[in-house]
Amino acid sequence: MTNPTAAMLVIGDEILSGRTRDANMHFLAGELTKHGVDLREVRIVADDREMIIAAVQALSGTYDTVFTSGGIGPTHDDITADCIAAAFGRSIDVRSDARALLQAHYDNSGQELNEARLRMARIPDGAALIDNPVSVAPGFTVENVHVMAGVPSVFQAMVASVLPTLTGGAPLLSQSLRIMKGEGDIAGPLGALAADFSDLSIGSYPFQKDGVFGANIVIRGTDGARVDAAMTRLAEMFG
């Protein structure tokens, strides 16, 4: 059986401008790998309504699960929630359970639940809330799309809330071997190895050290015996 598939949609002008470095994709990829879910695609889109809607619809229809990050805060450019609602043809409004969470949080901190903060309680019709133990304002799930904050600490907490609800497969295993030869010298034998082990992913990642070229060969797969066999063959080829 093949593992379930996932995609990630990163939303925000600040990512595309280079002002903010995205850390959420790296974290999500690692967590999904451990859970046996294959992250197959990551897209980054601007804070543009039509682009977000189109990307959500395309990814939702292609993969088992979609994660989004960014754009569910209190400011005018946080448009993700409205775009998710539009992508699935749902209405959106302030929801009582989300509002109650925010009200209790701001009451305890002595702050006002003003109109801007109340935007974070706007949830598409029929969505399930995603717990946020860091800053309370919830994410939400609509069909197979999990909508999360862009702040890394909050995103990570929301991923921890969602992962137990997903059906996982076999965790991805990997082994690597450093070869002190250039990629041009190893390409042929490596291609033959990849053909013999087509059920595995075999990647070559070049480096240069002290003027000598080499490559880290990484073999990945869900069958430990097959990964071991491929690594043994690789070591024999270049040992």
Does the pLDDT of residue 172 top 90, yes or no? Answer: no
214, 160 in Cβ contact below 8 A? no
Which residue do the tokens 């071997």 mark?
177
- Rounded Cα distance, 75 and 112, in Å: 16
Please tell me the distance from the alpha carbon of residue 218 to that of residue 25, in angstroms, as a whole number. 20
Dist CA 94 CA 124 (whole Å):
9
Domains of the chain: 5-165 (3.40.980.10), 173-238 (3.30.70)
Would you say 74 and 112 are in contact if contact means Cβ atoms under 8 Å apart? no
User: What whole-number distance in Å separates Cα of residue 6 and Cα of residue 71?
Assistant: 20
Please give the backbone phi and psi of residue 220, each rounded to the nearest 5 degrees, phi first: -125, 145
Maximum average pLDDT range among 33-37, 143-147, 180-184 = 143-147
φ, ψ dihedrals at 83, nearest 5°: -70, -40
| Tens-place pLDDT, residues 60-119 | 999 999 999 999 999 999 999 999 999 999 999 999 999 999 999 999 999 999 999 999
Specify the pLDDT at position 219.
Answer: 95
Q: What is the pTM of this model?
A: 0.85
Would you place residue 236 in the very low, low, confident or very high pLDDT band (cuts 50, 70, 90)? very high
The pLDDT of residue 170 is 87
Q: How far is CA 66 from CA 9, 136, 140, 145, in A?
A: 7, 22, 12, 5
How much is the pLDDT for 1? 61
Give the C-alpha distances (Å, rounded to integers) separating 101 from 114, 118, 136.
Answer: 14, 11, 7
Segments of the chain assigned E as strands: 5-11, 38-45, 65-69, 92-94, 122-124, 128-130, 139-142, 145-148, 173-179, 201-209, 212-221
pLDDT, the chain, mean: 94
Instruction: Over range 222-237, report the average pLDDT.
Output: 93
**20-63: pLDDT as tens digits:** 999 999 999 999 999 999 999 999 999 999 999 999 999 999 99
